[in-house]
Amino acid sequence: MSRTFSIIKPDATRRNLTGAVNAVIEAAGLRIVAQKRVKLSTAQAEAFYGVHKERPFFGELVKQMTAEPVVVQVLEADDAVPKYRAVMGATNPEQADEGTIRKLFALSIGENSVHGSDSDENAAIEIAQFFTEEEIVG
């Protein structure tokens, strides 16, 4: 079993799609072992996406991620990181496969409904930004 970190983004929470996204996650065999709805501060969003701070879309990304609440989650499965990336689909929803979360729900590359960790190492870092071990119940 391994873990990945997920965010259901403001474009999805705004449209009341938390349950719909979770249904796709669970149908794919990922278990939601921790979850909370939070409003990110600008400092939290900037820290979370620090790796992108030189990218031209950084300002817009931080603005979008702090505009409405998000749902942060820990997902568990065998090979959770690649499994969730497959379930999410490509970053750009125009390139996402049928049946993926981004194909089903995303509005654009910026408002792409979900975030998922890109490696086990980053999953551990991202999980620790939002959850204590006691809050993760498998």
Say if residues 92 and 109 touch (Cβ distance below 8 Å): yes
Task: Note whether 109 binds ligand CMP by CB under 6 A.
Answer: yes
Binding span for ligand CMP by CB under 6 A among 11-19, 67-75, 94-102, 104-112: 104-112
Tell me if residue 52 is catalytic.
no
Report the C-alpha gap between 25 and 66 in whole angstroms.
Answer: 23
Taking the complex as a whole, the smallest distance from the CB of residue 134 to ligand CMP amounts, in Å, to 26
Q: Which of 11, 115, 126, 131 is catalytic?
A: 115
Rg over alpha carbons for the chain, rounded to the nearest Å, is 14
Report the C-alpha gap between 56 and 88 in whole angstroms.
Answer: 23
Report the C-alpha gap between 75 and 3 in whole angstroms.
Answer: 6
Which lies closer to ligand CMP via its Cβ, residue 28 or residue 109?
Answer: 109
Which lies closer to ligand CMP via its Cβ, residue 57 or residue 128?
Answer: 57
Place of tokens 């929470």: 13
Q: Which residues bind ligand CMP (CB under 6 A)?
A: 52, 57, 61, 91, 109-110, 112, 115
Q: Which residues are catalytic?
A: 115
